[in-house]
Amino acid sequence: MAKLIDGRAIAERVYAELRDEIASLKSRGATPGLAVVLVGDDPASRAYVRAKDKMCRELGLHSVKLELPATTTQEELLARVNALNRDEKIDGILVQSPPPPQIDEAAIVRALDPRKDVDGFHPLNVAKLTLDDDSGFVPCTPLGCLRLLRETGTVLSAANVVVLGRSMIVGKPMALLLMRKGIDATVTVIHSRTRNIPEICRRADVIVAAIGRPHFVRTEFVREGATVIDVGINRMEDAGNERGYKLVGDVDFDGVSKVAGAITPVPGGVGPMTIAMLMSNTIKACRQNSTSPGTVLKN
Ligand code: GUN
């Protein structure tokens, strides 16, 4: 049986470090502040936004939660983003994705002050990730996956890592991080047009699954002893559950956990780490915005 990678326990370790940093920032008169913006009432997005706001409060950060109606126009949302850009109490801004269809998400992301873009979605931060410039922000989910791999002692240098999915939120930044100098993985990115997916996956020392398809990665995709990181959070109907659904990952956990060396559960794997990295990015933004320009800080 695979070793279970406990995202909640590892996130607690991150929080222990962050609490020291928060105390030190507060002693210098700086309280990190995060604004989380939700447009519309998608239940999953609402749950994520609530969890982010709650964690800010637990850590003693300044938290602003903006819940805007599904009918919000592009102009209204831009005006909100601009106001948050100017707000000195706010170090980080996150606009929950996906927004309703009338919103041009790319334009909203470009309107963010890149120094407050704790999601790492702004073109300047994407460029900084590709250029190995540590002054930028790296998207929270890939950052969380990397931390899970490091904390579990997974060797990444020269390892074959297969990333399933090429999204701007997970797949692409994950691949960029893993191929960085100093991390040195050999990365293959798989997407909907890729041929021979099971065969490619079977060559992997590490699999990161982020394609949003429930139970896509099955036992026959996984080499014995491989490490499997499951980013998927899919709602599956489950009449036996009081909510009427259960959360399942992109990996068939029951089968794959019999062959993998280590595996993340869903929930309780990547999810808690994404929030921990959002907090870490917010604290980084606060440190960076309260030190002299040009100072480069790591997470
Ligand atoms: N939707 C799913 N993941 C994310 C994330 O990391 N950031 C934002 N803003 N929206 C998301």
Residue 224, pLDDT > 90, answer: yes
141 ligand 1 Cβ < 6 A: yes
Average pLDDT, the chain: 96
pLDDT in tens, 24-38: 999 999 999 999 999
Residue keyed to tokens 């036992």? 219
Average the pLDDT over 70-84 and give the result.
98
269: phi then psi, degrees, rounded to nearest 5: -110, -95
Phi-psi bin for 166: left (phi > 0), alpha (psi -120 to 50), beta? alpha
Q: What is the pLDDT of residue 297?
A: 72
Q: Return contacts of 182-186, CB within 8 angstroms, 24+ apart.
A: 183/146, 183/156, 183/157, 184/156, 184/157, 184/158, 185/156, 185/157, 185/158, 185/159, 185/160, 185/161, 186/158, 186/159, 186/160, 186/161
Q: What is the pLDDT of residue 290?
A: 85
> What is the chain's alpha carbon radius of gyration, rounded to the nearest angstrom?
19
Q: What is the maximum alpha-carbon separation in the chain?
A: 56
Q: What is the pLDDT of residue 294?
A: 60
| Rounded distance from Cα 17 to ligand 1 centre (Å) | 23
Q: Which atom of ligand 1 is nearest to the CA of 94?
A: 9
Average the pLDDT over 51-80 and give the result.
98
Q: What percent of the chain has pLDDT over 90?
A: 96
pLDDT in tens, 267-296: 999 999 999 999 999 999 999 988 755 666
| CA–CA dist 210, 229 (Å, integer) | 9
